[in-house]
Structure 1
Amino acid sequence: MADHYDVVIVGAGPAGLSAALNLARARRHVLLLDGNRPRNAATMVSHGFITRDGIAPHELRRLAREELAQYPEAEFQLATVRSVSRLDGAFAVDAKGVNGSPSRSVTAASVLVATGLKETLPALPSIRAFYGLGLFSCVECDGYEHSDRPLALIGETSDLAARALLIAQWSHNLIVFTNGVGRITDSQEAVLAARGVRVERREIADVVGERGVVSAVSLADGSAIAVEGGFVRPRWDAALDYVAELQLSTDGWGLLLTDADGRTSATGVYAAGDSTAPGPQQLIVAAGAGARVAAAINRDLIGIARA
């Protein structure tokens, strides 16, 4: 069947690309679908990927797609997946083409969810202008370049204190801005204070700076606190509407629950990358997860019992 695949992979970030490459090398017939809206589109350089430290994320994706194109077993297409449903012991995948690509309706023996996360930044007027230039979300990716600078951490989520402790590994001059709604308890604030981290609970008016370089955080009362860049904690959503019919199990953050090899709660459905349980959101970690789940998918398709 021309439109039946061993595996349909949804999402061509590092997890999906890595899985596609390894599955093609296992001679699996693979279709990789991607909507061409990567979460790190605003990021100019990425770090921590061995042999590729400092590469632009879009260049890393380009190189990976170029490698994948050498394998006739793999097919890549720009398309947004609208739904995945069960069909006669397999899966039906409906996708809408983007950027001139045709829409597709295909079937697959298995499906890999590798669509990552959708970000919603705090609602500050100028924050988008600094994101990826002077403000970042991945501490492991960009902490080193901000060592020993006076930094801001802006966020409104319940894990803000934990992220502040992580950033303090790189800078002892850190202020956490909760924008009046961040949930940092008194006991957490005491722990942060012991590390030299200050908590600023007043409402934020905006981020201040020029040409992507942050110079201060302006508060609603008219005061401003000088910083030299920093981090933001967006709200992350896995955006899994297209697999809603499969009723996959998720955790308290809405991320997919999987076993160690990427198997979800639904037989034949796998997940890799940032849409799974929390961890370092690094390109190399996602790529490794993609390779691991590819091995599991191949073995499951063969019927090899789990060790």
Structure 2
Amino acid sequence: MAEDGLPHETFDVVVIGGGPGGLSAALNLVRARRRTLVVDSNRPRNAATLLARGFLTRDGISPLELRKLGRDEIERYDEGEVAFAVVEQVRALDGGGFGVTARGVRGAADIDVVASAVVIASGLAETLPALPSIRAYYGTQLHSCVECDGYEKSDAELVLIGETDDLAERALLLSQWSNDLIVFTNGVGTVTDDDERMLAARGVSVERRPIDDVVGERGVMTGVRLQDGTLIERVGGFIRPLWSPVLDYVDGLDLDRDADGLIVVDAKGRTSVPSVYAAGDSTPPGPQQLIVAAGAGAVVAAAVNRDLIGQSVAEVASVLAAPSQ
């Protein structure tokens, strides 16, 4: 019962997150005639990206348009609903099911509903290197996903800026698209001597001096200025952000997590808590291409539907096996 004594609105499934993973899960669930609510904060991690690449039949579409198309498809079905809200808590209920509460955004109403199953498909928080002007070029000249945007940077004078220990691996991948690449560690990131020799064999150089800022003119990147005043001309490239899961709303469920705080799932997206599933960025290995997340959402939807059928069969069997009065 709700605080006002009235019954909660009930759904078969609540999907948390309106990116490709969540929307794909929801679309397949409504087509399985599961009453499904998608709760989305409408604050996508890739909001700064102008074009989404590598999504079959939608190569070059705006990511925001892709999400809108997905929401429209779900709401064409009687079983589908989409709400703009920030989920505040998912709690297990006595007797089964989950309570989901969320705070409405963009003038939308608050949410307090009950669901038989929950799909977690929310994204990650993204922290960029602390350079004053880096966001002015992020999503246009600078990107985070090499597979997504590497082709458009073919043969250009590129940078890879990061402060982590996996820069060499990313640079090696990026060298597939350009042989004019400089890795900037900003005096923090780790590139070993062996890594540097391997990269040099691919024509990639390493700059270890601290960065002052990314520079440009009229919104167009022209280079990287080091703290000692050296200006290195570059026209674009990639950033290695730090990603962290935003999953406070499921802390009470005690889900198994990996060392990075991501939700551990099986091959079908099942978590350690029965009837709770996860797909997309919140699961290992973290940030994923849009089409990969969409595929994971479809896999999860199939598992949810089959598991709900199994629960219904088990409930009927239990009733039939009970001694008659």
- Deviation, 1:210, is 2.4
- Secondary structure at the aligned position of 1:132 is classed as coil
Q: In the alignment, is residue 105 of structure 1 matched against residue 112 of structure 2?
A: yes
- Secondary structure at the aligned position of 1:291 is classed as helix
Which of 11, 15, 19 matches 1:9?
15
Equivalent residue runs for 1:201-240 within 5 Å: 201-240=208-247
Which of 49, 52, 69 matches 1:46?
52
Q: In the alignment, is residue 281 of structure 1 matched against residue 283 of structure 2?
A: no
Q: TM-score, normalised by structure 1?
A: 0.96
Q: Deviations over 1:101-126 (max 9, x none)?
A: 11111111111110121111110000
The 8 Å contact of residues 116 and 273 in structure 1, kept in 2 or not, is answered as yes
The 8 Å contact of residues 120 and 277 in structure 2, kept in 1 or not, is answered as yes
**Consecutive aligned runs of 4 or more in structure 1 exceeding 3 Å deviation:** none
Q: Structure 1 unaligned runs (5+)?
A: none
| Structure 1 vs Structure 2 CA RMSD | 1.5
Which of 187, 191, 200 matches 1:184?
191
Q: In the alignment, is residue 142 of structure 1 matched against residue 149 of structure 2?
A: yes
> In the alignment, residue 66 of structure 1 is paired with which amino acid?
D
Task: Specify whether residues 212 and 166 from structure 1 end up closer, same or farther in structure 2 by C-alpha distance, changes over 3 A only.
Answer: farther
Q: What residue number does 2:201 align with?
A: 194
- Secondary structure at the aligned position of 1:274 is classed as helix
- Secondary structure at the aligned position of 2:115 is classed as strand
Q: What residue number does 1:250 align with?
A: 257
> In the alignment, residue 37 of structure 1 is paired with which amino acid?
R
Q: Deviations over 1:256-307 (max 9, x none)?
A: 21111111121111111111112672111111111111001111111189xx
The 8 Å contact of residues 12 and 32 in structure 1, kept in 2 or not, is answered as yes
Q: In the alignment, is residue 86 of structure 1 matched against residue 92 of structure 2?
A: yes
- Secondary structure at the aligned position of 1:176 is classed as strand
Q: How many residues align?
A: 305
Q: Distance in 1 between matches of 2:198 and 2:117?
A: 46
Q: Distance in 2 between matches of 1:108 and 1:195?
A: 53
Q: Distance in 1 between matches of 2:241 and 2:289?
A: 16
Q: Deviations over 1:159-180 (max 9, x none)?
A: 2221111111111111111111
- Deviation, 1:204, is 0.5
Q: In the alignment, is residue 152 of structure 1 matched against residue 155 of structure 2?
A: no
Q: Deviations over 1:115-170 (max 9, x none)?
A: 12111111000001100011000111100000111100011112222111111111
- Secondary structure at the aligned position of 1:153 is classed as strand
Q: What residue number does 1:30 align with?
A: 36
Q: Distance in 1 between matches of 2:141 and 2:296?
A: 29
> In the alignment, residue 219 of structure 1 is paired with which amino acid?
L
> In the alignment, residue 28 of structure 1 is paired with which amino acid?
R
| Bigger Rg, which one | 2
Q: Deviations over 1:56-106 (max 9, x none)?
A: 111111111111111010111000000111112111111001111111111
> In the alignment, residue 56 of structure 1 is paired with which amino acid?
S
Q: What residue number does 1:72 align with?
A: 78
Q: Distance in 1 between matches of 2:99 and 2:162?
A: 39
Equivalent residue runs for 1:93-132 within 5 Å: 93-132=100-139
Q: Distance in 2 between matches of 1:280 and 1:10?
A: 17
Q: Structure 2 unaligned runs (5+)?
A: 1-6, 314-325
The 8 Å contact of residues 153 and 176 in structure 1, kept in 2 or not, is answered as yes
The 8 Å contact of residues 14 and 38 in structure 2, kept in 1 or not, is answered as yes
